[in-house]
Chain A
Amino acid sequence: MLDISDLHVEVDGTEVLHDINLHIGRGETHVLMGPNGSGKSTLLKTIMGFGGYTITSGSIVFKGQDITRMSIHERAHLGIGMMFQNPPAISGLKLGKLLTAISGLKEDGVEALARSVNMEQFLNRDINVGFSGGEIKRSEVLQLKVQQPDFLMLDEPESGVDLENMNLMGREIATLLEKDVRIVNRRRSGLIITHTGYILDYVDADQGHVIIEGQIRCHGNPREILRLVKEKGYGECLRCKQIS
């Protein structure tokens, strides 16, 4: 599904991602962990194609197509979707309007989807303006439910979400990633940034990666990595790299 090879990325003239290699197969969900500022969000934004993240070498291939230089909306059309951690508030733009613009769905179709994530009261609200943490996440999930991407990137889906919302979101994300579909038939893939690992209670992940100082330091079983980080902190990851 996604192949990243030897990727180097600069922000404002400084290299922030070094030699990233990542392969995510069809139907797989991967987890990205690492301390604050290590480059997790930068990697997601680079995959999405945001301005300000300059790829100096390497490539990103998605579904067999080189998307390294492709514009954001073309990537979205190919099937890449992203749940933002801190999406912008856009005053005047109604959530419902955006959903119809994304999907071409009629209003009643949008409303039914909104109800499924308790967002029907928000369709006529300016997007993200005055939304609480949980509301922002539900709005993001709703947009992704409309968008139906094949490859889903989630930037800290748990942050700012209470337990009740976490339950709803976790289930919705699992559905978006086709966790209810038999493994052999599963076609959708995901890449999830998590600090706490709570999302893993809802979404089984196949692989974990630790990124430190812009480099992927190790790959492995996500639960095992999470346990090690919880016990020993990311300092252990640094030492680990040094030993090898």
Chain B
Amino acid sequence: MQTDIITDMEHLSEKDRERLALTGLEVEMRNRCGSFFQIDQKVIQTTCMAEGVEMLPIKAALEKYDWVGDYYWKAVPRDKDKYTRYVADQENPQGLVVIAHPGTKIEMPLQACLFLREGPVQHVHNIFIAHEDSEIHIISGCASSWQKEHGAHLGVTEIYVGKGAKVTSTMIHNWNRGIAVFPRSATIVEEGGTFLSNYVCMQPVRKINMYPTASLVGENAVARFSSIVVATPGSTLDLGSRAILGAEHTSAELVTRAITTGGTIISRGHIRGAKDNTRGHIECRGLILKDGIIHAIPEIEGTITGTELSHEAAVGKIARQEIEYLMARGLSEEVATATIIRGFLDVKINGLPPVLQAQIDAAIDKAESGF
């Protein structure tokens, strides 16, 4: 169906289309059942073919359903910091609202593409609402034009995972050396809900600063954050993820694989166990391929006897012994090193659909050729 395919791509250069493809944007949408495409402050396209799921520009969503207002600036406080205030102060807010109506289960991902081409600042406010027993996967691809030397992207994302619902949110970034990025995200997970967040950033950027939080407010809620990041020279990635175990039998896992080839990575993590029968684990592994900084700051905070929290963090170079082991099997030093790095980044995420995993693998493959 022609109308279901992104048609307004002609004015994008081949190079920019390639950059977008690396963030997961599928122009032909063979493996997508919905698409949102925003360039700077202009929404180019909003399409959704999935029954029971709606994708709407934020203004349209707020006009269409009164109750969407109940989710507006609820997970992320409006005045959290200057970046959220900037987004909140916009008279003409842009961004995407995804609504999965109760019981809707969509295996194929939706894509949301945010492209920074002109202008100093792109601001976005997204709200993903998964009602009771629904299931959605969203790939958010964020990129800047290859010609865009400076600029900032401010993105607020509020995610609601209803009772028994499941949201998988995969964000892939592909910026430039001069771009600063300030995502502000928070998720509220209700009883029996599952929230999987995957983040991949393996290309140069000036600065990324984010610390998404998942509040598990209903019993048996689960959150897992997985991050795969590479800091090239000149990049500063200040990344974290936080889970608040605010109901009994909730659990969270924060997993990070970080590589520096000369840039700076601050890998924060925080789990608060505040109810009985809660469990949380933080795992951060960092590989320093060239002198740079990997600063892991895992925090576990228990406030009650019935919580079990742990963390492990390791930062270093590839063990010589591992390289030589593979060389003894006939692999050259370069191939042995790349094979080990590939394994290091291979965080298989339970429950991730193969298309999402393929997207993450493609981003890794692309970056690997640069090591």
Contact = CB atoms under 8 A, between A and B. Distances in A.
A102 B329 contact: yes
Interface stretch (A25-33, A93-101, A113-121, A190-198): A93-101
Interface in A146-181: 147
Interface residues of A, number: 25
A101 B325 contact: no
Contacts of B333: 71, 73
Given A88-B321, A101-B335, A48 B343 contact: no
B344 A91 contact: yes
Residue in B285, B319, B326 with the greatest tally of chain A CB atoms within 10 Å:
B326
Interface of A is mostly: mixed
Interface residues of B, number: 25
A227 interface: no
Contacts of B339: 93, 97-98, 101
Given A72-B324, A88-B321, A90-B322, A102 B330 contact: yes
Interface of B is mostly: helix
A90 B346 CA distance: 12
A147 B343 contact: no
B330 A90 contact: no
Contacts of B330: 73, 76-77, 102, 147
Nearest to B285: A91
Contacts of A84: 325, 328
A101 to B, nearest CB: 6
A102 B331 contact: yes
A72 B327 contact: yes
B94 to A, nearest CB: 39
B345 interface: yes
Interface string B321-358: 11011111111110110011011111100000000000
Nearest to B314: A91
A48 B325 CA distance: 10
Interface in A66-95: 71-73, 76-77, 81-82, 84, 87-88, 90-94
Interface of A: 48, 50-51, 71-73, 76-77, 81-82, 84, 87-88, 90-94, 97-98, 101-102, 126, 143, 147
24 contacts: A48-B328, A51-B324, A72-B327, A76-B330, A81-B328, A88-B319, A88-B321, A90-B322, A90-B325, A90-B340, A90-B343, A91-B344, A92-B343, A93-B342, A93-B343, A94-B346, A98-B329, A101-B326, A101-B329, A101-B331, A102-B330, A102-B331, A147-B329, A147-B330
